[in-house]
Amino acid sequence: MVTPRPGASTRASRQTKTATTRRAIVEAARSLLAESADGHVSLEAVAVAAGVSRVTIYNQVGSRHGLLDAVLTDSAERGGMDQLLAHTKDEPARQACTSVIRRTCCFWAAERSVLRRLTGLAVVDPELARIFDTREGWRRRQLNRLLERLEEAGELTRTGAISRAAILDGFVALTSFQAYDRLGQLAEHPLKATRVLDQMLTGLIG
């Protein structure tokens, strides 16, 4: 007897179920991370919170670090950080910088509790630190593209002895999560924080 191949509707149903399961796992991990004191969340705890088995988590994300990476990916997609420059193409170069700073500040503010735990954990977890480094490398390249646009528009004056590389380093640093998290009460108001950081960028680029 030949077993019939699953139809398109069956495959779609399986894909939907898989996506729903993954969403439940990521949401459970996010909630537990936000509530944890030090960022240490076990796969067992996530499995219980998500209503799945530990094996299911391994099938979905592969490992604990895979789970943390999935949480970071989900956070980035929620905040539009995976498309950081997408909405700036038609803006003047300097305005595009402001838009990116605003999006970044809003993202840091919304994800602050989770990112605070994960960045703290990355200090003692080399693999998680590597995941963050990869993501920061991507963000650095996006900011470099903004500086290229400023150069093309003649708006990157490089006042004093500040090199192009130093300007990029400064831009990356002042828009980092670590810098944002140290803003204290100002970090609770991302639009106000945007104005402060935007003024700092003006001082940096001349």
Specify the amino acid at residue 194.
T
* Rounded mean pLDDT, 64-77: 96
Query: What pLDDT does 147 receive?
Result: 97
169-190 confidence digits (pLDDT tens)? 999 999 999 999 999 999 999 9
Please provide the average confidence, as pLDDT, over all residues in the chain: 92
Q: Band of the pLDDT at 8, cuts 50, 70, 90?
A: low
pLDDT the model gives residue 87: 92
The CATH number given to 8-62 is 1.10.10
How much is the pLDDT for 160? 65
Give the model's confidence band at 115: pLDDT under 50 very low, under 70 low, under 90 confident, else very high: very high
Q: CA-to-CA distance for 125 and 52, rounded, in angstroms?
A: 26
- pLDDT for residue 140: 98
pLDDT the model gives residue 6: 62
Residues 27-53 have a mean pLDDT of 92
pLDDT at 203 exceeding the cut of 70: yes
Q: Check whether 196 has a pLDDT greater than 70.
A: yes
> What residue spans define the domains of the chain?
8-62, 79-205
pLDDT per position as a tens digit, 91-106: 999 999 999 999 999 9
Read off the pLDDT of each residue in 43-49 and give the average, rounded to a whole number: 95
Q: What is the pLDDT of residue 76?
A: 96
| pLDDT in the model for residue 7 | 66
pLDDT at res. 156: 87
Structure tokens that stand for 22 in this block: 């993954």
pLDDT tier at 206, thresholds 50, 70, 90: confident
Q: Whole-model pTM? A: 0.88
DSSP symbols for 40-75: ---HHHHHHHHTS-HHHHHHHHSSHHHHHHHHHHHH
Of the candidates 45, 2, 49, the residue with the CA atom closest to the CA atom of residue 23: 49
* Distance separating alpha carbons of residues 14 and 8, to the nearest angstrom: 10
pLDDT-based confidence at 159, cuts 50/70/90?
low
The one-character DSSP state at 40 is -
State the number of CA atoms in the 13 A half-sphere of 187 facing the CB: 19
Q: From 178, 174, 167, 172, select the one nearest 194 (Cα to Cα).
A: 174
